[in-house]
Structure 1
Amino acid sequence: MITGLVSIILPTYSRHTDGYLQRALESALAQTYPNFELIIVDDGSVDGTAKLARQYSRRDHRIRYLRIEENTGIPAYTTALAFLQTKGDYISMLFDDCIYYPHYLETLVSKLNGAPELGMAYGRVLVHVPGKESYEFGTKYNQVMTRAGGNCVPNVCVMIRREVIERVGWADPHILLKRRNDWDLWIRIADYYPIGFIPELIAEEFGSMLSDSLSNLNFVYLPLSRKYVQQDRNSMLNPRNIENYDPFRSDFADLNDHELQALRMLELEHYVLTSDISKLITLKIMNNDLGFMKIRAKNVTKKEVDDRLQRLLYWCREYFQWRNNDMMSKINFLENEISELHRLIWLKDEHIYRQANHIYEQQLAIKQKDAHIYQQQLLIEQK
């Protein structure tokens, strides 16, 4: 008989409206292995997620709800806070764009119980891609390939022993690793423990279909990421120390000007994605003889502009000055960087406009139908 409490951590941000969060929760409740707890950690959702999560926590005593009021945009940080609330012998992640198969927990617990030397175990995932055939992902772990930048571990299919996290720390919340903190964690675990693989489908992932997923919103500076992970971070990544961790720090190596600017741009990107920039300010780019960027706030009082926005505006100006060496750099900045900034803003708000566009199309179809009926009436009257 397999035993052991499993703690499932489910990070989420505004995935209630489209039904993804509810589907993920139902997949957890459908497990054949009943000895689990599920911690929903809500990163400041604004779409009714809180109401749904509280309904599930009242429905099943194994489910608890942890809410962070202001969106951080760093899942490795929010899940570390959730880890501090867990009691399980084993830790698994369930993402709000994924589902577990019913035998998920039973399969992974059985694997770890049967091989006490393993630090973690994982299976395979079925990945859905819009407009393409779905594919299976997950192969036997290879530390050499992983250190070279590859990844063979689907993060939704992983179960880790609790004592492993106590030894090597949690996933790193630094913005350089926002999309690759799982890859970094596998490497750190494999430095101390063997990793078990089960060549079996145990989950499905739909994240590549969503415009607001981390993989579709955040860029990766791979050379700088590799430089960052060379340092020993295990002790500082213990979840008990996570609230003191600086996800934007640049003191991990001697960085040149280009690397420092890349790090600044990642922070700029982060603030764009976690602030309602399109509702707070209108960006107006003005070139003059001094070559600086004016950013004018619209309908914003001084009290409403918080520290994050001030920092964003400062780095927008700094980045422009850095790129403003000659007229060509000005043109490149205006055509590329600003268009990219607006693209990020648009992606942030896309889900809001989707329903409005649908309503508009319905109204247009009704108007076209009315016009057709009117034309038919005119023809009948003419006859």
Structure 2
Amino acid sequence: MAVRWEAPGTRAAASRVEGRSPVILPMPRRGAWAHASGMESRSAAGAESRFSVRRIRTLLTVIVAVAATAVLTAAPARAETGFHEVPAFGSNPGNLRMFAYVPEQAQSGAPVVVLFHGCGGSAKDLDIDTGWRKYADTYGFTLVLPEQKDENVGSGGIVPHRCFSAWNPADRTHDGEGEARSVVQMVDHMKARYSADADRVYAAGYSGGGAATNVMLAAHPEVFEAGAVFFGMAYGCADTETDYFRTGSLAPCPGRYNLVSPTEWGDRIRSAHPGYTGARPRVQIWHGGSDLLINKKSLEKQRDGWTDVFGVPQTPTSSSSPASGVTKQVYGSGQVETYLIDAMGHEAPVDPGTGIDRCGTVGRGHDSLCGPYYASRFFGLGG
């Protein structure tokens, strides 16, 4: 007969005989138990107490370790804010540097504006001097600032100029594995890291950065919703570095200003992404009437190409003057806008001050009109 004992001191000590009723065994007399087992009981109790303390400590250690691991796994490092460099963002076939400005109050799903510096420039302070950072803070969008590297040596002496390559097919076409692809990877990084809104990605640039803006809008229309080109160059106006770096009355498209029709300029844009039939990004074009580096006719050729792509006339549907000496024209239903500032040379349109429509750094541009304010509104970011 098998017997199973319960611990001493319980209501009954029982055993169950296999196939039979349990056998109830009498409890030892209190005195006898105490007399026979008093010392052993105290020793066992002490040992059990020490064991319980050790077990609790071990259990607490395990709980803390598991909790810490869970926190580290569930909460990745906080994404950076402010102005900072992003050292790794993809394969970077164009070998560019990536900088970003992320406002402290930027929310998940924030828009992105890709901002290109001009030849000889850099990402540093570009967003402050031109006024873009003010509107990033005000409207809650983020900025991506690509920067050219000195080591990207070209046969035409690109290093001293630090221009983006707007003439090389590998850098300016949809299927090219060059600078344009690197910029798309920067945008993809913002989508992954900050949950940026893929439907609200924009581009803006100055001079050579304006040419880069036209490249991105033409080569990757599926990525960009709209763009703003400040005293830049038409897409495809230069096919070699030699042509690109010419200066003078016909720069940077020697011999082409009077020889190429709107359809031909449109064909150049379409050639950046052959066969593309999707939506095209809207374009805002700025130029100075007194620009001696890139002739103001560049505005006309950009307008001709983009209006042809949209299938709208080269005659404006409306014309206005938002400030003295400034002419704004709208084409089609707003797919293309142009701003011609008579007294402005090869410089950024700014209007330093504290009002919502004023921006830029004194001495860092032409004091006339705040370009980023009007560009932000054109993008739909200003409410």
Q: Same fold (TM over 0.5)?
A: no
TM-score, normalised to structure 1's length?
Answer: 0.24
Q: RCO (CA 8 Å, sep 6+): is it higher in 1 or 2?
A: 1
TM-score, normalised to structure 2's length?
Answer: 0.24
